[in-house]
Structure 1
Amino acid sequence: MKLLDTLHRWTGGLIGLVLALLGLSGTILLYEHLWIAVPGTGDPLRGDLSTVAATTERLMVLPGAQGIIYADDRFGLHQLRFGEGAGAYANQSGELVTRWVSQRERPELWIFDFHHHLFAGDSGEWVIGIAGLCGLFFVISGVILWWRTRRTFQLRLWPKRMSRPAIVMHHRDLGIVAAPLLLLSVVTGTMMIFRPFALGMVAPFGPVAETAKALDPPKYKGGPLTDKPDYTAMLTEARRRFPDAEFRILSLPRKPGDPINIRMKQPAEWLPNGRTTLAFDAATGELLGARDALKLAPGAQAFNMAFPIHASKVGGWAWRIALTVSGLAMTMLGSLAVWSFWFKRPKPAKRVVKKAAFAAT
């Protein structure tokens, strides 16, 4: 038990600040649709084919346009993507309302990048994934360590004093209350980073090999991108294939031979941008293949639920409030763990050297 306690304290002291910042940034992102100050964010969704097609044709002719994330019920603007982090918001009539040349100009974008990549791309994802595994260890080991002190349980939102013993007691008692939510947040977040971990978590839903194959996107080969793609025809075919689905993302090829991809969300899908996909030849507009997310392997469908749970894209306000509690608890637990470990460590006891007393002769 002493070894477990030592590992818990040292790991928390080293990685606690990362977890605290992830908890804080994640909590802020839960409410991004409310604080983005751009005209049109609250516009009602106009998802009919004619409106979406006309807007797409208008936006995709802009120089450098690489794709569109379409408006939805929560956010009433389309997000147009350009290269090197540039982008724009456009209303559902195709009129630009704001542009940026770097994601640093938009707080919702750089906070998202920090939360998912720590501003360091794939390397940052690895750090976050490792922090997630450490968070899983914290929750499990914390429950075990708390059990010894369960009789002294007192729920406080803040430590009684900013002394190390008071912080440790608060840390244990707050941690045990928040443990179920923290466990769910950490597990779903780590699933999106480490594929082997994710496959292990969804293994009860079906064979791992079948799930892994279903999660890999199909590969298609087509011609070079034409100067004037017929987006209306592609969107029309997509709506014909999936009449009840919403248009979510249109992406141009990243390299010659790649297709134009359209992602849609069917009503039964939890993932906000859906996993129902269609691939069109970039040269001819011919449909190369379509994938129904509701017909994927059960394990893949279970994996697709991780992000909506993690980011409160399902469950309404009740679940968003629960995740807010989880995020703030992670922020407090991580920051106070670092504070108590590095700045409130007990001072080593001074050695008292006793002088020998000599009797007077």
Structure 2
Amino acid sequence: MRLLAWVHRWLGLPLSLLLLMQALTGAIVLFKHEANDLLHHAALTADGSPPLPLQTLVGGVLRDRPDARLLRIDYPETPDSTYILRLDRGGTEWRLSVDPGSGQVNREATVAGWPIEWLFDLHYTLLLGKDGQTISGLSGLGLLILSITGPVLWWRGRPRGRGLFMVATSGGRARLLRDLHRLTGVLAALPLIILSFTGVMVALKVWTSVLVGVIAPVSGKPAPLVVARAGQPLLPLDQIIAAARADRPGAPIRNVRFPGGSGRVVLVFLEDETAPRPDATWQVWLNAYDGSILARYTDATMPAGSRFMEWMLPIHTGSAGGLALRLFWCLSALGLAGLLVTGAWGWLARRAVSPRTLHVVATDPLSPGVMGLRLRRPFGLSVRAEPGAHIDLHLTGGLIRQYSLTNAPGDRSAYAIAVQLEPAGRGGSRAMHALRVGDLVRVGLPRNSFPLDRSVPHHLLLAAGIGITPIIAMADALAGDGAPFTLHYATRDAAGVLFADRLSRLGDRVHLYPADAVPRHRLDIRTVMASAPPGTHVQACGPARFLADIRQAAHDLGWDGARVHLEGFAPTGPGTDAQPFRARLPDGRIIQVPADQTLAQALTTAGLHVAVSCGQGVCGTCTLPLRSGHALHKDQCLSPQERQTLITPCCSRGVGDIAVG
């Protein structure tokens, strides 16, 4: 599966821009005739006069353009439409709309002057002729591989049960884009397989005919030649076409072509309504000197392999199923565009959180046990620090820790964080406190799972201890906006108040609650929330007990859960009250998860890679589908609805037996 995923990723990424262009142009040229009529209706409409002889009409056009060579004549599709003449003028193709009755040229331009025709050539040949057609066909082959490998990877990732078509709305942008990509890919897989297969068969016809010929006979089209006859003039076009009509009486003419460019051979395409294939044609090659038939190519006479090859174009263009199929193909092409965007964007989003090397440029003790750090990008490049965002720090020994950004508005010179020393922790905070100016650290780009909604009428900011780190950035941002807010900050003691200078500049909007104050002034969360103005939103950060009190107060006061936004510091590890459980894997294996081990650790031991970032159920990076069973959720990133079908294996546990994947 890893090899398959590697092929899918590194085939899709290089081809993404090319396939995106082909998807969008393909969605348009499916309606080529309608689009041309919309853009050039007047130029493509005849005046209704009785038609001139074709020789007279063509002769007049060529007489006024002595440098031109006639390539093709497309016949009017309706009684009130025009001929389209294709001319070669100095190696450049020109297309002319000519009125059948008057012979007047209504519009004359190169292919670039006919936007829809230009898009068609861009889609089919990339404007590079035969070489571009080959590249287009090879890109279609790549799409065929992607359309097959994608569902296989999806099926192995979400084999059955709940979560098959689930899109997680939490867990970060990368997770959302991944789920959208998978869902769109599964829904569009079959039409994309058909479109890519038929596109390859058409664009690489020389090669694919050989492969089809191994199974069923394939014959090439005739290519008759006529030797020049000195002194003998060519017959008028009308007489040659009359000979073609006599070969297929009553059949409308689609177009007339002049292979070889000499005019001595004329190829006439007539409709073949007896053939089962849509848009089938009866093709007749004629000698322009005497009107004799040189060769025919018809559905009835071609071998089975050739008939199969001829079906590819009407399927690919949607003409095989009429308007309904063209609309379906259009939606599929737009789905492909969405796949390419979500695939590439999701890859970039995952790259965004991969670590970069930054320099420690300042260390500042903020209080006993809390160290402030500033981390600068190479060459002094500016940073992006939204209120509520955090960064991942990748430390030695594989430790990954998340720290909220404390940057004030306009502070873009470096990332600012504050780290509280945890002597009983797993070593992350000790490693951070050991950093010195000039040291290098590996840091992921900011992510924001605790955003500040600046559109609400009032904010109530609540913080306890080190939980002030995201809240101070929010308070400064709201103050800069002139938005109403109040901030309530509880600490163990007065010495533990962080960012005292910044808090003092916020004036009476800030209320401090140091536990050692005399007399003690305790933060009464319920009272504070009850007195908040209507429409107030809470942004709160602190330990689990602090957040539990806020949830309870919101419940007691009847607050809508959408108005309460929390970020906390969940306990790491399985916990002292953890119980063992069993987990069924996507491949059918059942693993035992001991009480002293997390599900993520057990999965890693079983050989399954789990991307764990925070290890505390805050970021949602490690989220997996919960296919069956019940879980004891300890995360702080999933909604109640998402907890029905998702689990964070870094901290949450199963109850009894569960199935994940």
Q: TM-score scaled to structure 2, two decimals?
A: 0.48
Q: Residue 221 of structure 2 contacts residue 297 of structure 2 at CA under 8 Å; is this kept in 1?
A: no
Deviation at 1:337, TM superposition (A): 1.9
Residue-by-residue CA offset, 1:192-231 (whole Å, 9 max, x unaligned): 1223335535865xx2xx31xx233333333269765321
Q: How does 1:136-151 map to 2 (within 5 A)?
A: 136-150=144-158, 151=162
Which of 277, 285, 308 pairs up with 1:302? Answer: 308
Letter of the structure 2 residue corresponding to residue 16 of structure 1: S
- Report the secondary structure of 2:140's partner residue: helix
Percent identity reads 22
Alignment CA distance shift 1:162-1:31 (3 Å):
farther
Q: Residue 40 of structure 1 contacts residue 76 of structure 1 at CA under 8 Å; is this kept in 2?
A: no
Partner residue in 2 for 1:71 = 76
Alignment CA distance shift 1:228-1:197 (3 Å):
closer
Letter of the structure 2 residue corresponding to residue 18 of structure 1: L
Partner residue in 1 for 2:202 = 192
Q: Residue 240 of structure 2 contacts residue 288 of structure 2 at CA under 8 Å; is this kept in 1?
A: no
Q: Residue 253 of structure 1 contacts residue 260 of structure 1 at CA under 8 Å; is this kept in 2?
A: yes
Q: Residue 244 of structure 1 contacts residue 267 of structure 1 at CA under 8 Å; is this kept in 2?
A: no
Partner residue in 2 for 1:276 = 282
- Report the secondary structure of 2:188's partner residue: helix
Residue-by-residue CA offset, 1:298-355 (whole Å, 9 max, x unaligned): 2111211111111122312211111111111111112322222345525334542476
Deviation at 1:252, TM superposition (A): 2.5
2:97 counterpart of 1:89: yes
Partner residue in 2 for 1:39 = 42
Q: How does 1:123-142 map to 2 (within 5 A)?
A: 123-142=131-150
Residue-by-residue CA offset, 1:23-72 (whole Å, 9 max, x unaligned): 110110112222222227577x99xxx95xx4522332121333201122
Partner residue in 2 for 1:98 = 106
2:161 counterpart of 1:154: no
Separation of aligned partners in 2, 1:34 and 1:161: 44
Alignment CA distance shift 1:160-1:25 (3 Å):
farther
Alignment CA distance shift 1:72-1:199 (3 Å):
farther
* Larger RCO, structures 1/2 (Cα 8 Å, 6+ apart): 1
Alignment CA distance shift 1:60-1:229 (3 Å):
farther
Q: Residue 67 of structure 1 contacts residue 251 of structure 1 at CA under 8 Å; is this kept in 2?
A: yes
Alignment CA distance shift 1:17-1:303 (3 Å):
same
Deviation at 1:142, TM superposition (A): 0.7
Alignment CA distance shift 1:357-1:303 (3 Å):
closer
Q: Residue 224 of structure 2 contacts residue 295 of structure 2 at CA under 8 Å; is this kept in 1?
A: no
Q: Residue 222 of structure 2 contacts residue 297 of structure 2 at CA under 8 Å; is this kept in 1?
A: no
Partner residue in 2 for 1:117 = 125
Partner residue in 2 for 1:325 = 331
Alignment CA distance shift 1:160-1:80 (3 Å):
farther
Q: Residue 198 of structure 2 contacts residue 315 of structure 2 at CA under 8 Å; is this kept in 1?
A: yes
Q: Residue 71 of structure 2 contacts residue 261 of structure 2 at CA under 8 Å; is this kept in 1?
A: no
Once superposed, what is the RMSD of the aligned Cα atoms? 3.3
Task: Please identify which structure carries the higher strand content.
Answer: 2
Separation of aligned partners in 1, 2:202 and 2:332: 18
Q: TM-score scaled to structure 1, two decimals?
A: 0.84
Separation of aligned partners in 2, 1:341 and 1:356: 29
Deviation at 1:6, TM superposition (A): 1.4
Q: Residue 268 of structure 2 contacts residue 285 of structure 2 at CA under 8 Å; is this kept in 1?
A: yes
Deviation at 1:160, TM superposition (A): 8.3
Alignment CA distance shift 1:279-1:223 (3 Å):
farther
Deviation at 1:293, TM superposition (A): 3.1
Q: How does 1:15-30 map to 2 (within 5 A)?
A: 15-30=15-30
Deviation at 1:154, TM superposition (A): 2.8
Separation of aligned partners in 2, 1:180 and 1:268: 30
Q: Residue 70 of structure 1 contacts residue 79 of structure 1 at CA under 8 Å; is this kept in 2?
A: yes
2:54 counterpart of 1:56: yes
Q: Residue 126 of structure 2 contacts residue 132 of structure 2 at CA under 8 Å; is this kept in 1?
A: yes
Task: Please identify which structure carries the higher helix content.
Answer: 1
Q: How does 1:246-285 map to 2 (within 5 A)?
A: 246-256=252-262, 259-269=265-275, 270=277, 272=279, 274-285=280-291
Q: Residue 271 of structure 1 contacts residue 304 of structure 1 at CA under 8 Å; is this kept in 2?
A: no
Separation of aligned partners in 2, 1:357 and 1:322: 59
Which of 226, 234, 240 pairs up with 1:234? Answer: 240
Partner residue in 2 for 1:182 = 192
Q: Residue 68 of structure 1 contacts residue 78 of structure 1 at CA under 8 Å; is this kept in 2?
A: yes
Which of 340, 344, 358 pairs up with 2:346? Answer: 340
Where structure 2 has 5 or more consecutive residues not aligned to the other structure, the ranges are: 63-67, 356-392, 397-429, 435-661
Deviation at 1:111, TM superposition (A): 0.3
2:85 counterpart of 1:80: yes
Separation of aligned partners in 1, 2:169 and 2:269: 48
Alignment CA distance shift 1:292-1:197 (3 Å):
closer
Moved more, 349-358 or 225-234: 349-358
* Structure with larger Rg: 2
Q: Residue 277 of structure 1 contacts residue 291 of structure 1 at CA under 8 Å; is this kept in 2?
A: yes
Q: Residue 38 of structure 1 contacts residue 97 of structure 1 at CA under 8 Å; is this kept in 2?
A: no
2:254 counterpart of 1:243: no
- Report the secondary structure of 1:85's partner residue: strand
Separation of aligned partners in 1, 2:245 and 2:166: 53
Q: Residue 13 of structure 1 contacts residue 342 of structure 1 at CA under 8 Å; is this kept in 2?
A: no
Deviation at 1:257, TM superposition (A): 8.2
Separation of aligned partners in 2, 1:162 and 1:91: 60
Separation of aligned partners in 2, 1:199 and 1:161: 50
Alignment CA distance shift 1:324-1:255 (3 Å):
closer
Residue-by-residue CA offset, 1:78-104 (whole Å, 9 max, x unaligned): 211111121111244353453333111
Separation of aligned partners in 2, 1:133 and 1:159: 33
Q: Residue 72 of structure 2 contacts residue 257 of structure 2 at CA under 8 Å; is this kept in 1?
A: yes
Deviation at 1:126, TM superposition (A): 1.9
Q: Residue 56 of structure 1 contacts residue 94 of structure 1 at CA under 8 Å; is this kept in 2?
A: no
Alignment: residue pair count: 345
